[in-house]
Amino acid sequence: MVSLTTLYEITFGGAILAFIAQHTIKQLRTFIVIVTSALGVYIVWRLPSQATDISFRLGDFQILWGVNEYSQLFALLIAVLGFFTLIYSIDFMKERERLGYFYMNFLIVIGGMYGIVYSQDLISLFFFWEIMTWSSFMLVIYCCDDAQSIGLKYFVFSAIGAYAMLTAIVLIWANLETTSLSVLFENFTNLSSGLQITVIVLFIVGFGVKSAMMPFHVWAPDAYAISPTPFTALFSGALSKMGIWGLGIVLLKLAAQSGFYVWVQDIVAWIGAITALLATFYAIVQTDAKKLLAYSSIGQLGYIIVGLAIGTPLSIMSALFLAMLHGIFKAMLFMSAGAVFYRTGSTDMNEVTGLIRKMPWTFLTALFGIITVAGVPPLGGFAAKWMLYEATIQSGHYFLVIVLFAASTAAFLYLYRFIFSLFLGQEEKEYADIKEAPLTMTVPMVIMALFTLVVGVFPGIFINPIGNAMGYFGNYTFNWDVSSLLNEWGNHVDMMTVVMTIGAIFIIAAIFITIKNYRTTRYVTTKDIHTSGEIPTENENLTYAVDFYKPFERAIAPVLKRSIDKTYNLIAENLESAFDFLRYVYTGNGQTYALYVVLFLAVLMVFAELIFGIQL
Amino acid sequence: MEINWSSVIGIVATPVIAFIVGVLYGGAVRKITARVQNRYGPPITQNLFDIIKLYSKKTAIQHGVMQHLGPVFAITASVTSLYFIPVIKDSPYFQNFSFNGDLIFLLYMMVFGSLGMALGAGQTGNPNSAIGVSRGLSQMVGYEIPFVLALVAIMIQFKTTSLNELLAVQDHFTNWIIFQSPLAFVAGILAFLGMMHYAPFDVVIAPAEIASGPPSEFGGKYLGLMMTSGSIFAFVKLVLFVDIFLGGASDFITLIIKTFLLYMIPVLTGIVSPRFRTEQSILFFWKWPTFIGILAIIVVVLNG
Amino acid sequence: MYNDKDAKKIVDIIQSYARKHSLWVVAYGTGCGAIEIPPTMTSRYDAERFGIRGSATPRQADVLLITGYLAVKTLKRVIRTYEQMQAPKFVMGFGSCTINGGMYWDSYNTINALDRYLPVDVFINGCMPRPEAVISGFIKLQQLISEGKAEGAEKYLKNLEWYRENQNKVIPNWNMPDYNW
Amino acid sequence: MEELKIEKEIAEEISKTFHSAEVTVKREKRVVVKLRDDLITPFLSYAKNNMNFIHLAHISCVDWLEDNKFELIYSLLNYDNKVMILAKTYIDRENPEFVSHTNYWDQAETYEREMREMYGINFKGNKRLTEFILEDWQGIPPMRRDFDTVKFSQDTFYNRPGRENAQDVRTTVTKKSGEEIPEIGKDYTVRNL
């Protein structure tokens, strides 16, 4: 009984059941949610061997759902992340209200994402895309004061993306009379070159919005920061990957066939690199941990976009590797920030401090998370970064790689800020009674943290399935060892040796420093520090957190000033007025909306007839 | 499995040699600094005495597990980087694992220690440590860029990221990369000034204003391990630059001569320099060294 | 072959040799004597040739140099600094003020005898002692270390109650953390 | 006498305004004003606002143990003609209280804190009369003349034996230079300033 329909039935059915259970038998709700997502993991795992394609007609359109290796990769990420974040949410969301609403939308998002990756035609893709967008919008506006305006921002950008995508679908339908992806891939070159570039750009806009590409990233930091943390983990970990999934198809299946490929490649790659650099700079100046992670997320997605755009086998590999890994480590980081929020009620990095001894497992997760993001060996991030740089250099993007390196080095700053402010530093009296987060929160985090280590030692467990998935784009072969990385010039890094060396030296040194003077080594509190002989009182503030990177901010002030103070404010002001305008458009009156739909269809028909000469 | 004894000897001997050379260089620097300042100066073995003294301290304090492990991270990074660099060209003893890694790996491995140290310093809760870390990481963003530009220029010129292949290219005096790609060398050596943390880029550990910064809460065995790691790491950086730009060394005496001459560049600059503020040093690295690095890449692209 | 005892002896010799030749002085200038330290350290007298070096924090330091008179308020900070240092640690009293109060012997706010409050290993007399005298004091300390007689830290630990009594007598509001060795 | 023209003008203005004030031109650029304690505040206000003495250089105190008085001295400086006024007044020694002038000059706060610590004078209106230089001082304020610092030092701090022959620096120094040793209790005051 493993098939796509079962998957959809179980996920969407579970969503409705959870909503009903909330209003009838509350105890069942959690059970239903967990079972649903666990079944999701199981079905997705078994799908490739058992599922058959499903096809039926809906009006004029042929609907086609099927499983391929590329979809499978993303589906597994969604399923696993969904499962972990839902387990995490059990305790995190316990005290909140409207849980039926929350869990229903959560499961619908997961179902929508399954639908996106498994759809083989544009109509169901768009349909599931909208389901995902709407239910995620519902979760963004779930809580807190500014949720309305932030949700509106998210909605506007999603709408821009969706309309762009819809226009592209209409154009394709009008010219090729097909909605099937495979037919589209075969006949794409039959389109006129103007149409080709239009379709590509529209799709890039459509998918780029979700993957927070630079001009369309404005919604992301706020939306990530305001949505409830379990969902933020999924939002940044899996939902943004839908954009990457789409960009992969557009860049490597459609654009690769067109005559503009080189231009598209370079432009998208540069957009990705600049996204990475600027997002990193913005992340450095943030004071809220979740916002910092949100900008970090945008930056990492920038790397992935660069990898996809460059389009050599190694770069695609690195992009997909990073996409999978980003799903895991960003979920880890958001979860640890969420655990801090759960216990202290704040993620303000100027306030919360010194939690390491109170929340050791959360700290461990955050530590593994930042080491992975930084790309420092021996954790998994290194493999991704290594492949990306090698691919970028070897494909001749010499200045691109400098921008990436700069972003990557600057990333150390905000990563250190994150872990230092929340976990290290002075242990203040205010947080003396904080306890470790409950098991349902720590266990998923720690499992994922250990997984990053495993990926670091054996990158092969990612590389091999990704290699298979890349079969979708062409005939790439990766006959690598399970623990080694290889570039196109034949240079390699043997991760096994690296990890063994690091491990051996680390253990020897750790044993040495622990045994040496073991009896006369004392633990002292963080108040017992060198303060020129002065004895700090209990309420004395010795935390160094505010304006942590002032010198660096001064150095990059020209960049920040130009982008934030001027352009960015200008955009924000314009957006504000745009929202004012939208308030007239979105009146909240159902009849007005109905009128819009009719008007839109009419305009569409007129355009279709006038420009493309087809009868809808 | 057959044990390759020459490599076993190499694995044991390399860190020891690196430590001894690094420590003696450290002592030599103090002596040279003293002579420049018209002083007699400490004996050349002074740093060794300091390290032994630190290890022989009877007590130690720690603020938590991260501080305890901070120096361990540092030494791990130093020794691991050392193992992945061919110390002596074509010698069966001192290749270690250099065939299992490449330049980009080394680039990342070298920041592993800084990150670990930063975490260790962070846990002490000393505001001075945090200020030092903030400065250090900011400055790192400065000098990494010209350094990477230099490395990329070399990588694309010789189409390899492996140190061993770069060494193989420099088979003759005239083929040294310093002569083949002088602009990359200039960019690299300017970045090297920042990497060694001598003046004018020593704002990180400014002893008088922020009480030596990150290590201000470390004493006894912890500081000893950090100094050990620092000595090895200085040697690692020197050998790396010698391998990249100066054609490596095929025997020990050449290695000593080349590394010592290279070491004198940051040292002699440092003795006569005042100190840059953090943002000044970041902007310094982002101006001329970066420009020269970009020029190096352009030259390579035009020639190739 | 050496037996355990001999091996221990050799380690001791190496350790005391290293300790002797590496004396890091914590930078804590208390009185007017602090002005004598710069010439001691710089080109004219160059204390670094004996391995004497300044260190920024008490955690790294070996020697606490009390440079001159100690007000009661400063005494409290000095004791704190001393307790933050890692054993083996040495105290040097510098100038007459640390020995018998010097010209401040009748002041209501400066202590007269430093060794009542901290275990002093070496006194240097003079008002002020010149850098030569300071260096000779350091050499005396090196001599004591190599003879194994500079055991101020142990003395302090052993007689902690007596020291505390004296300290509490002059510092009424004693709010310091415990000395945990 | 031509040189003291400005000083005399100032003295005249003060004595015109404050009839009970004893004004003396002590020397060049130095004018001493003796006032009743309740006239200090109006005088300072007048000097600051009308005579341009905008700088409060110092507030100091003298302990007249024999008269059972504290003398407070306010030093004011005029930047234009560089004249300094010393405004003096006497307050009761048994229950030393005076008005704070922190609202005229912020720096008065520091001087008043110091005088509270050293002489025990309570300045009403100063919001920060807390511990200043001494830490945890118990007993009578140390700058009062009835506080015996030698005895205190001998009681509190251990005196190392061996300096009995040169016990008193003052005695030794005065003996060497052939001066008279001042006696405690003898009237050395020069009242006609």
Query: Radius of gyration of chain A from Cα atoms?
Result: 25
Query: Radius of gyration of chain C from Cα atoms?
Result: 17
- Residue-wise pLDDT tens digits, A118-144: 888 888 888 888 888 888 888 888 877
**What letter represents residue D128's amino acid?**
R
State the total domains in chain B: 1
Query: End-to-end alpha-carbon separation of chain C, Å?
Result: 36
CA closest to A530 among chain C residues = C57
CA closest to B58 among chain C residues = C87
Question: Out of A409, A517, A524, whose CB is closest to B58?
Answer: A517
C80 in reach of chain B (CB within 8 A): no
Give the distance between the most distant pair of CA atoms in chain A: 88
Q: Is the peptide bond before A221 cis (omega within 30 degrees of 0)?
A: no
Counting residues of chain A whose pLDDT is more than 90, the rounded percentage is 0
Cα B297 to Cα B301: distance, rounded to the nearest angstrom: 6
In this prediction, residue D2 has a pLDDT band, given cuts at 50, 70 and 90, of: low
Average pLDDT, stretch C112-137? 87
In this prediction, residue D37 has a pLDDT band, given cuts at 50, 70 and 90, of: confident
* Interchain contact, D153 vs C171, CB within 8 Å: no
* Interchain contact, C55 vs B42, CB within 8 Å: no
**What letter represents residue D67's amino acid?**
D
Q: What is the pLDDT along chain B (304 residues), one digit of tens a residue?
A: 567 777 778 788 888 888 999 999 989 988 988 888 888 888 888 899 889 988 888 888 888 888 888 899 999 988 888 888 888 877 777 777 767 778 888 888 888 888 888 888 888 888 888 888 888 888 888 888 898 888 888 888 888 888 888 888 887 778 788 888 888 888 888 888 888 888 788 877 776 677 777 888 888 888 889 889 989 998 998 988 888 888 878 888 888 888 898 898 888 888 888 888 888 888 888 888 888 988 888 888 888 6
Question: Out of C27, C48, C61, whose CB is closest to B42?
Answer: C48
Question: Out of C77, C87, C181, whose CB is closest to A534?
Answer: C77
Give this prediction's pTM: 0.85
Could you tell me if A358 and A435 are in contact, meaning their C-beta atoms sit under 8 angstroms apart? Answer: yes
The shortest C-alpha distance from C28 to chain A (Å) reads: 8
Cα D9 to Cα D25: distance, rounded to the nearest angstrom: 10
Give the model's pLDDT for residue D191. Answer: 55
Q: Which chains touch C (3 or more CB pairs under 8 A)?
A: A, B, D
**How many CB pairs (< 8 A) connect A and B?**
230
Give the model's pLDDT for residue D193. Answer: 47
Chain C residues close to B59, C-beta within 8 Å: 86-87, 181
Question: Out of C59, C76, C177, whose CB is closest to A530?
Answer: C59
Cα A287 to Cα B242: distance, rounded to the nearest angstrom: 42
Q: Which chains touch B (3 or more CB pairs under 8 A)?
A: A, C
* Interchain contact, A402 vs B152, CB within 8 Å: yes
* Interchain contact, B57 vs C60, CB within 8 Å: no
Domain of residue B104: give its range: 5-303
* Interchain contact, B301 vs A356, CB within 8 Å: no
C10 in reach of chain B (CB within 8 A): no
Residue A611 has pLDDT above 70, yes or no: no
Counting residues of chain D whose pLDDT is more than 90, the rounded percentage is 3
The shortest C-alpha distance from A540 to chain C (Å) reads: 15
* Interchain contact, C56 vs B208, CB within 8 Å: yes
Chain C residues close to D135, C-beta within 8 Å: 72-73, 76, 171, 173
Cα A161 to Cα A165: distance, rounded to the nearest angstrom: 6
Mean pLDDT (chain B) is 85
Residue A514 has pLDDT above 50, yes or no: yes
Question: Out of C19, C48, C56, whose CB is closest to B56?
Answer: C19
Q: What's the gap between Cα C10 and its chain centre?
A: 27
Detail the DSSP E strand segments found in D41-186. Answer: 55-64, 69-77, 84-92, 97-99, 122-124
Query: End-to-end alpha-carbon separation of chain A, Å?
Result: 39
Chain D residues close to C112, C-beta within 8 Å: 153, 157-160
- DSSP H or E run through B127: helix B127-158
Query: End-to-end alpha-carbon separation of chain B, Å?
Result: 45
The shortest C-alpha distance from C102 to chain B (Å) reads: 30
* Interchain contact, B145 vs A413, CB within 8 Å: no
DSSP string, B133-145: HHHHHHHHHHHHH
**SS3 state at A340:** helix
Could you tell me if C51 and C22 are in contact, meaning their C-beta atoms sit under 8 angstroms apart? Answer: yes
- Residue-wise pLDDT tens digits, A22-65: 778 777 888 888 888 888 888 888 877 776 777 887 777 788 88
State the total domains in chain A: 1
* Interchain contact, C173 vs D159, CB within 8 Å: no
CA distance readout (Å), A433 to A261, A596, B122:
58, 56, 21
CA closest to A357 among chain B residues = B64
Counting residues of chain B whose pLDDT is more than 70, the rounded percentage is 96
Q: What angle, rounded to 10 degrees, do the helices at A99-118 and A69-92 form?
A: 170
| B46 strand-pairing partners | none
Interface mutation target, options C84, C89, C157, C175, chain A, most CBs of A under 10 Å? C84
Q: Which chains touch D (3 or more CB pairs under 8 A)?
A: C
Which CATH class name applies to C4-170?
alpha beta
Tell the residue number behind the tokens 């500081």, with chain if given. B223
Q: What's the gap between Cα A121 and its chain centre?
A: 24
* Interchain contact, C101 vs D135, CB within 8 Å: no
- Chain B segment 165-194 residues within 8 A of C by beta carbon are none
Q: How many CB atoms lie within 10 A of CB A584?
A: 8
C109 in reach of chain D (CB within 8 A): yes
**What letter represents residue A403's amino acid?**
V
**What letter represents residue C112's amino acid?**
N
Average pLDDT, stretch A511-516? 86
Cα A594 to Cα A600: distance, rounded to the nearest angstrom: 10
Q: Which residues of A69-106 are buried (b: 16+ CB within 10 A; e: fewer)?
A: ebbbbbbbbbbbbbbbbbbbbbbbbeeeeebbebbbbb
B211 in reach of chain C (CB within 8 A): yes
Cα A70 to Cα A320: distance, rounded to the nearest angstrom: 10
- In terms of phi and psi (left: phi > 0; alpha: psi -120 to 50; beta: otherwise), the region of B19 is alpha
CA closest to C80 among chain A residues = A533
Could you tell me if A482 and A458 are in contact, meaning their C-beta atoms sit under 8 angstroms apart? Answer: yes
Q: Within 13 Å of residue D172, how many CA atoms lie on the same side as its CB?
A: 8
Phi, psi of D70 (to 5 degrees): -105, 135
Domain of residue A321: give its range: 56-64+119-488
A518 in reach of chain B (CB within 8 A): no
Give the model's pLDDT for residue D166. Answer: 58
The shortest C-alpha distance from D135 to chain C (Å) reads: 6
Give the model's pLDDT for residue A564. Answer: 47
- Residue-wise pLDDT tens digits, B256-285: 888 898 898 888 888 888 888 888 888 888
Chain B residues close to C15, C-beta within 8 Å: 52-53, 56
List the domains of chain D with CATH numbers.
2-163 (3.30.460.80)
- Residue-wise pLDDT tens digits, C110-123: 888 888 888 888 88
Among A143, A113, A150, A144, which Cα is nearest to A130's? Answer: A113
C170 in reach of chain D (CB within 8 A): yes
Question: Out of C42, C50, C57, whose CB is closest to B211?
Answer: C57
Give the length of chain C. 181
Q: Is residue A30 part of a domain?
A: no
Cα B291 to Cα B288: distance, rounded to the nearest angstrom: 5
Q: Within 13 Å of residue A181, how many CA atoms lie on the same side as its CB?
A: 24
Among A473, A459, A462, A296, which Cα is nearest to A373's? Answer: A296
Interface mutation target, options B123, B131, B169, B292, chain A, most CBs of A under 10 Å? B123
Among B301, B287, B160, which Cα is nearest to A399's? Answer: B301
Mean pLDDT (chain A) is 81
B228 in reach of chain C (CB within 8 A): no
Average pLDDT, stretch A292-315? 87
- Residue-wise pLDDT tens digits, B208-251: 677 777 888 888 888 889 889 989 998 998 988 888 888 878 88
Question: Out of C24, C48, C87, whose CB is closest to B34?
Answer: C48
Cα D44 to Cα D101: distance, rounded to the nearest angstrom: 9
D173 in reach of chain C (CB within 8 A): no
C84 in reach of chain D (CB within 8 A): no
Q: Is residue A444 part of a domain?
A: yes
Domain residues of chain C, as ranges?
Answer: 4-170
Give the model's pLDDT for residue A558. Answer: 74
Average pLDDT, stretch A425-445? 84
**A581 exposed, middle or buried (CB, 10 Å; 0-12, 13-18, 19+)?**
exposed
Chain B residues close to A522, C-beta within 8 Å: 59-62
Confidence check on the interface: ipTM exceeds 0.85, yes or no: no
Chain C residues close to A516, C-beta within 8 Å: none
**What is the torsional sign of CA A513, A514, A519, A520?**
positive
CA closest to C99 among chain D residues = D160
Give the model's pLDDT for residue A614. Answer: 54
Q: Is residue A608 part of a domain?
A: no
CA distance readout (Å), A612 to A176, A203, A608, A609:
11, 19, 5, 6
Chains B and D touch (3+ CB pairs under 8 A): no
Give the length of chain B. 304
CA closest to C22 among chain B residues = B50
Could you tell me if A128 and A12 are in contact, meaning their C-beta atoms sit under 8 angstroms apart? Answer: no
Give the model's pLDDT for residue C1. Answer: 47
CA closest to D150 among chain C residues = C106
* Interchain contact, C76 vs A524, CB within 8 Å: no
Q: How many CB atoms lie within 10 A of CB A446?
A: 17
B56 in reach of chain C (CB within 8 A): yes
Detail the DSSP E strand segments found in B68-115. Answer: none
Question: Out of B40, B58, B61, whose CB is closest to C88?
Answer: B58
DSSP string, A347-379: -BTTT----TTT-HHHHHHHHHHHHHHHT-TTS
Among B24, B13, B80, which Cα is nearest to B48's? Answer: B24
**SS3 state at A177:** coil
**What letter represents residue A257's amino acid?**
Q
Question: Out of A498, A521, A543, whose CB is closest to B101?
Answer: A498
Cα A210 to Cα A244: distance, rounded to the nearest angstrom: 8
